Amino acid sequence: MAPFEALYGTRCRSLVGWFESTQLRPRGTNMMRKALDHVRVIQDRLRTA
């Protein structure tokens, strides 16, 4: 018996194995790129000020 099952009386339902590896896509890269662009603009403006 697994420790989680002993404590809670049910099997652990983790997200590992719920999805096929082909379905996973890296998300947030566009958001990260936009955020870095905004940071660079702010830094440039601070340098000029």
Q: What angle do CA 42, 31, 18 make, to 5 degrees?
A: 155
Residue type, 9: G
Specify the higher pLDDT residue, 35 or 21.
35
pLDDT tens-place string over residues 12-34: 776 665 555 555 556 667 778 88
Q: Which two tokens stand for residue 1?
A: 């018996």
| Rounded Cα gap, residues 49 and 2, in angstroms | 60
Share of the chain above pLDDT 90, in %: 22
* Residue-level pLDDT at 16: 63
* Residue-level pLDDT at 44: 93
Contacts of 20 (CB under 8 A, 6+ apart): none
Give Cα 15 to chain centroid, integer Å: 13
* Residue-level pLDDT at 25: 59
Average pLDDT value over all residues in the chain: 77
